[in-house]
Chains A and B, each alone.
Chain A
Amino acid sequence: MKQIGAVRSSFAPWNDPASVPLVRFEGVTKRFGDMTAVDDVSLSIYEREFFALLGPSGCGKTTLMRMLAGFETPDAGRITLGGEDLAGIPPHKRPVNMMFQSYAIFPHLNVEKNVAFGLRMEGMEKSAVKARVEEMLALVKLEKLGARMPHQLSGGQRQRVALARALAKKPKLLLLDEPLAALDKKLREETQFELTDLQVELGMTFLIVTHDQDEAMVLADRIAVMDHGRIVQTGTPGEVYEAPANRQVAEFLGDMNIFEAVVDSVEPPMARLSGEGMKFFVQDDDCPAAGSKVFLSVRPEKMRISLDPPPAKTPNVIAGEIWDIGYLGDWTTYLVEIAPDRRVRVAQANATRHVERPMSWDDKVFVSFDPDAGVVLTS
């Protein structure tokens, strides 16, 4: 989905033992009273990387960023930027800019002056400030609103002012706390592309927090999934999507069907499982030994649905009845009841124009998936 071509696809400094990370969290912990907001986090972010933090509300994403920007002090561990320990360096001396989740726009300054604030602090020359402010306002499509006061803006416009203000200094490292949450889909997609372009153009490093897994997948080189202050998994969008570390990551990144099962036999790379009254035949190199309790997870789009039974000997066939159909234009998702109150989700691309839907509510159907479609998870 990424627009950027060959240069980006070979961009993987995290796999290169020789490359030095720009930002490094080493065993960082932050407590508020007896509540641990960030728990022993270690993390490396490389120069020019677009790094996304993903996780449920309250899992510590903002706190992690605020420690990097200097607004919170870690209780344990250390944070380095370009090899330099950040401890004791006040926020205004850190070469980092942050876009606040609450925007924190200065209410007494108009849009232009808000965007110009950081540049004036730098002592940038007046005409240069003016040019940069114009450039930034054009970027976030607010050219016409430069003279407005913040209380005269809509929520989405305010968010764009905050984004423009954080971008204006073109810092080496930019922290974006849910930068696009208030924008409509079209504007959000446009801004996403602008952000990636800007990043490539200026060689910036982005750390972005988002609730939106699609956004994380589109934008990020790597994603870290957080939960309860810990990092559960770090990897490229493909890795976390296709090989989630556990059920929680799997379910956080899109829909997932999960079957509780027990391993019957393993003949690497194949394994036989049984559970919920069904037999499964899957291909997974990391399947634990026979007898282990596991969770077999299968993405809806990796399942097939048909009215006719699949040929005999097809593995992983589940009979059921259509319980609900969701037509999404490009996709149709079917909720299939395979046992009382037990439903699986199947997604099919609408490759042709069906004037009449071939399947309808209460039809008896067969759901199947290939052995390599499933991932065996242990937790």
Chain B
Amino acid sequence: MRRDKSAIAAVLPFAWLAVLFLIPFVLVFKLSLSDVALSIPPYEPQFKPADLPAFFGALDFETYRRLTSDSIYVSAYLSSLKFAGVATALLALIGYPLAYGISRCSKNTREMLILAVILPFFTSFLIRVYAWIAILKPAGILNAALEAVGIPPLSILHTDTAVYIGLVYAYLPFMVLPLYAALEKQNATLLEAAADLGATPFTAFWRVTFPMSLPGLAAGALLCFIPIVGEFVIPDLLGGSGTLMIGKTIWTEFFSNRDWPAASAAATVLLFTLIVPIVLYQRQQAKVLAA
């Protein structure tokens, strides 16, 4: 009896992954092996059970060759990785003090502040990004405020700076929450022990608090880095025409150029690029669970 139940429990996540990840991925991967066609849907070959050999014969890696030959894709990948890297670093620099400060507050204040961190999730993501447009645009709230104190206006919207602002804003909770979880469960007696052994509060932080919060920092960094690489909405709405990110490129291929195979191939490559950080994240989580 028991065995059966645990078997079900083990199968469920796999079934979940199969339905929601593996099958869509196989479809996307198949698309990436197809050729562009001016039809509906706009690709060939299409699956007809009758002529299987012909179907498989028509699939090839031609699209992938196109991806490597056109430098726009490579630059888009590199640029995405750069955006994700810089944004994650900024997120860590802003998120760590925030999470640390919250974890040092009294219990009630702590709960309030954490609620405040989560609160933006209650409004639509798109609306929040549009709000940034309203703030950053040339005649927007920011410039009005600057003008009021006599500072010349800034043109931030449609620059990389705007993208970074949007990314940091949108992903901050994903950095703060795991960090907070790691910092909050830390036993205050450990800091007393460090002080007792002669560590100043500063040293105690670097020798005890910080190293013990590293799993939280790693989790937060990966939770931000991985989705930012594929981020599309923020660079599209806040970035300029020169802002190159792979999410945006895929969107353009799919909807503007109607090149579904190229978009699918780009998406497939993106997935494989992200496997390294995803595996790192999983390892990290396994370690946290084991400890």
Instruction: Let me know if A151 is at the binding interface, CB within 8 A.
Output: yes
Q: Which B191-222 residues sit within 8 Å CB-CB of chain A?
A: 192-201, 203-204, 207-208, 211-212
Q: Which B146-196 residues sit within 8 Å CB-CB of chain A?
A: 187, 189-190, 192-196
Taking a contact as CB atoms under 8 Å apart, the answer to whether B193 and A100 are in contact is yes
**Which B residues are CB-close (under 8 A) to A121?**
197-199, 203
**Which B residues are CB-close (under 8 A) to A108?**
208, 211-212
Residues 68-89 of A, flagged 1 when their CB comes within 8 A of B and 0 if not, give: 0111000000000000000000
Stretch from A91-99, A128-136, A317-325 contacting the other chain: A91-99
**Which A residues are CB-close (under 8 A) to B204?**
92
Count A-side interface residues using an 8 Å CB cutoff: 23
How far apart are the CA atoms of A191 and B189 in the complex, in Å? 25
User: Looking at the complex, which one of A70, A97, A102 makes contact with B197 (CB distance below 8 Å)?
Assistant: A97
Instruction: Let me know if B50 is at the binding interface, CB within 8 A.
Output: no
Residue of B nearest to A71 (CB): B192
Taking a contact as CB atoms under 8 Å apart, the answer to whether A91 and B211 are in contact is no
Taking a contact as CB atoms under 8 Å apart, the answer to whether B196 and A98 are in contact is yes
Residues 141-173 of A, flagged 1 when their CB comes within 8 A of B and 0 if not, give: 000000000010000000000000100010000
Taking a contact as CB atoms under 8 Å apart, the answer to whether B291 and A151 are in contact is yes
How far apart are the CA atoms of A91 and B198 in the complex, in Å? 8
**Which B residues are CB-close (under 8 A) to A117?**
194, 197, 199, 207
Residue of A nearest to B196 (CB): A98
* Residue among A90, A92, A96 facing the most chain B CB atoms (10 A cut-off): A92
**Which A residues are CB-close (under 8 A) to B189?**
100, 102, 104
Taking a contact as CB atoms under 8 Å apart, the answer to whether A106 and B198 are in contact is no
* Residue among A90, A102, A104 facing the most chain B CB atoms (10 A cut-off): A104
Residue of A nearest to B207 (CB): A117
Taking a contact as CB atoms under 8 Å apart, the answer to whether A92 and B208 are in contact is no
Taking a contact as CB atoms under 8 Å apart, the answer to whether A69 and B196 are in contact is yes
Taking a contact as CB atoms under 8 Å apart, the answer to whether A90 and B195 are in contact is yes
How far apart are the CA atoms of A102 and B195 in the complex, in Å? 16
Minimum CB–CB distance from A45 to chain B (whole Å) comes to 18
Taking a contact as CB atoms under 8 Å apart, the answer to whether B196 and A106 are in contact is no
How far apart are the CA atoms of A100 and B187 in the complex, in Å? 13
How far apart are the CA atoms of A169 and B212 in the complex, in Å? 24
Taking a contact as CB atoms under 8 Å apart, the answer to whether B195 and A92 are in contact is yes
Instruction: Let me know if A118 is at the binding interface, CB within 8 A.
Output: yes
Residue of A nearest to B186 (CB): A107
Q: Given A104-B187, A108-B212, A151-B291: A118 and B197 within 8 A (CB)?
A: yes
Count B-side interface residues using an 8 Å CB cutoff: 20
Instruction: Let me know if A122 is at the binding interface, CB within 8 A.
Output: yes
Main secondary structure, interface of B, reads: helix
How far apart are the CA atoms of A169 and B196 in the complex, in Å? 11
**Which A residues are CB-close (under 8 A) to B198?**
92, 118, 121-122, 169
Taking a contact as CB atoms under 8 Å apart, the answer to whether B192 and A91 are in contact is yes
User: Looking at the complex, which one of B192, B201, B212, B291 makes contact with A104 (CB distance below 8 Å)?
Assistant: B192
Minimum CB–CB distance from B189 to chain A (whole Å) comes to 4
Minimum CB–CB distance from B93 to chain A (whole Å) comes to 22
Residue of A nearest to B213 (CB): A108
Taking a contact as CB atoms under 8 Å apart, the answer to whether B203 and A106 are in contact is no
**Which B residues are CB-close (under 8 A) to A151?**
291
Residue of B nearest to A101 (CB): B189
How far apart are the CA atoms of A165 and B200 in the complex, in Å? 17
**Which A residues are CB-close (under 8 A) to B208?**
106, 108
Minimum CB–CB distance from B197 to chain A (whole Å) comes to 3
* Residue among B193, B196, B199, B207 facing the most chain A CB atoms (10 A cut-off): B196
**Which B residues are CB-close (under 8 A) to A98?**
196
Residue of B nearest to A117 (CB): B197
Taking a contact as CB atoms under 8 Å apart, the answer to whether A106 and B199 are in contact is no
Q: Which B4-30 residues sit within 8 Å CB-CB of chain A?
A: none
Taking a contact as CB atoms under 8 Å apart, the answer to whether B192 and A100 are in contact is yes
Taking a contact as CB atoms under 8 Å apart, the answer to whether A92 and B193 are in contact is no
Q: Given A92-B200, A121-B203, A151-B291: A106 and B193 within 8 A (CB)?
A: yes
**Which B residues are CB-close (under 8 A) to A102?**
189
**Which A residues are CB-close (under 8 A) to B212?**
107-108
**Which B residues are CB-close (under 8 A) to A69?**
192, 196
User: Looking at the complex, which one of B197, B201, B291 makes contact with A169 (CB distance below 8 Å)?
Assistant: B197
How far apart are the CA atoms of A104 and B204 in the complex, in Å? 13
User: Looking at the complex, which one of A92, A105, A107, A122 makes contact with B196 (CB distance below 8 Å)?
Assistant: A92
How far apart are the CA atoms of A91 and B208 in the complex, in Å? 16
How far apart are the CA atoms of A69 and B198 in the complex, in Å? 11
How far apart are the CA atoms of A199 and B207 in the complex, in Å? 30
Taking a contact as CB atoms under 8 Å apart, the answer to whether B193 and A104 are in contact is yes
How far apart are the CA atoms of A169 and B187 in the complex, in Å? 23
Q: Given A106-B208, A107-B212, A121-B203: A91 and B195 within 8 A (CB)?
A: yes
**Which B residues are CB-close (under 8 A) to A122?**
198
How far apart are the CA atoms of A16 and B50 in the complex, in Å? 109
* Residue among B193, B203, B212 facing the most chain A CB atoms (10 A cut-off): B193
Q: Which B232-282 residues sit within 8 Å CB-CB of chain A?
A: none
How far apart are the CA atoms of A50 and B41 in the complex, in Å? 88
A-B contact pairs, 18 of them (CB 8 A): A69-B196, A91-B196, A92-B195, A92-B196, A96-B196, A100-B189, A100-B193, A104-B189, A104-B190, A104-B193, A106-B194, A107-B212, A108-B208, A108-B211, A108-B212, A118-B198, A151-B291, A169-B198
5 smallest CB-CB distances across A and B, nearest first, come from: A118-B197, A121-B198, A104-B193, A91-B195, A104-B189
Residues of A at the B interface (CB closer than 8 Å) are: 69-71, 90-92, 96-98, 100, 102, 104-108, 117-118, 121-122, 151, 165, 169
Residues of B at the A interface (CB closer than 8 Å) are: 187, 189-190, 192-201, 203-204, 207-208, 211-212, 291
- Given A71-B195, A92-B197, A169-B198, 11 other A-B contacts at CB below 8 A? A91-B195, A92-B198, A100-B193, A104-B187, A104-B190, A105-B193, A108-B212, A117-B199, A118-B197, A118-B198, A165-B193
